[in-house]
Amino acid sequence: MELFNLKRLLYFFIVFLFTINFILAQETEEEIESTQENKSSLEENKENKSKNDSVENEDNTLEDELNKAENNTKNDGKNKSFIRRIQPRFSAFYASSMPIGLLSSVFSLEHGGGLFMDVSYPSKILTFLGLEFRMGIHSSLTKFKGKIEVETTLYDVYLPYSVETFIIPLTGYFQLGIVTDIGLKPFFGGGGGITWVRSKRVIAEEYEKYLKVEDDRKVTKKSVDPTFSGTAGFAYSHSYLPYLEVFVQAHYTVAIERVAGHFLQVEGGIAYKIN
């Protein structure tokens, strides 16, 4: 059921991206057609007036009108292309997550997925330096399974419990990338946010006879913990498909307070960028 929901989410995500791309492409075509029509009309008027009247003042006036129309078209293009200047980027990725520290004695390497969305900060200085600064939000889902031993009150012994834990971090982040001529972009960044945790602990049926009434057979806990993160990786984009980026990144997350856990997550996927 969970796999079906994930596939359905990815399907709608892909449809959403291609819908945005189609709308922007239509707007671009309309802008180009409108610009060409304006220029053709003005040039035609200029030719007709030149044939009918060779007065220099009229030519200068028409030339000024043509330049004014071109400047207005450029300004309109700048306003309409704001979304392209910030270059929104969307991605669904696959992730392998591994706990570090105390939690590694309970959980092992698990697999999951996630989403991120970010925008570029348009800066001529950064472009001149060959850098790209991006800001966005990042979230992932990982389901961990493991076993722990809990002390009981009946015989003062430790009994095994199976543990199932869902971890969903949601962080805002910044990212600084180095743009190269070959399409490869190394990057690093960091950020912070929260991590939502849901943990369920259940004892096996064969061990229930060792429990008293006050002992817990099934325990479910939830918490929301402050979180800090750091990331580093690289992305690649080919000149024939500038709106697609293939990326691999290492994401290190630290959740404090109740979870007090460190997680190293390796993520890989394809990002769609509007440019």
pLDDT, one tens digit for every residue, the chain (275 residues): 444 455 565 556 566 555 655 555 555 555 556 556 655 665 666 566 555 555 455 555 656 665 665 565 555 555 557 787 888 999 999 999 988 877 777 788 889 999 999 999 888 888 888 899 999 999 999 988 877 766 665 556 666 777 888 889 999 999 999 999 899 999 999 999 999 988 887 776 666 666 655 456 677 788 888 999 999 999 999 988 888 999 999 999 988 866 667 889 999 999 998 87
Q: Provide the β-strand partners of residue 157.
A: none
The count of domains in the chain is 2
Last residue of a domain, one of 80, 106, 130: 80
| Pair (57, 127) in one structural domain | no
CA dist list (Å): 17 to 24, 47, 49, 102, 216 = 11, 45, 48, 40, 47
Q: Residue for token digits 């990338």?
A: 177
Same domain, 40 and 146: no
Q: Are residues 55 and 95 in the same domain?
A: no
**Which residue range forms the structural domain that includes residue 113?**
86-273
Residues 104 and 212 in one domain: yes
Dist. CA 231–CA 225, nearest whole Å = 19
Same domain, 75 and 95: no
CATH number for the domain spanning 208: value is 2.40.160.20
Q: What is the pLDDT of residue 146?
A: 78
pLDDT at res. 43: 63
80, 108, 123 - which closes a domain: 80
> How would you classify residue 34: left for phi > 0, otherwise alpha for psi between -120 and 50, otherwise beta?
alpha
Name the phi and psi angles at 256, rounded to 5.
Answer: -110, 180
17 with 68, same domain: the answer is: yes
The residue from 16, 50, 80 where one domain ends is: 80
pLDDT of residue 165: 85
Contact between residue 164 and residue 199 where contact means Cβ atoms under 8 Å apart:
yes
- Shared-domain flag, residues 242 and 203: yes
Judgement on whether residues 92 and 75 belong to the same structural domain of the protein: no
Q: Are residues 153 and 263 in the same domain?
A: yes
Q: How many CA atoms does the CB half-sphere of 41 hold within 13 Å?
A: 9
Residues 225 and 134 in one domain: yes
Looking at residue 217, its pLDDT comes to 66
271 and 91 in contact (C-beta within 8 Å)?
yes
Residues 176 and 226 in one domain: yes
**Same structural domain, 161 and 241:** yes
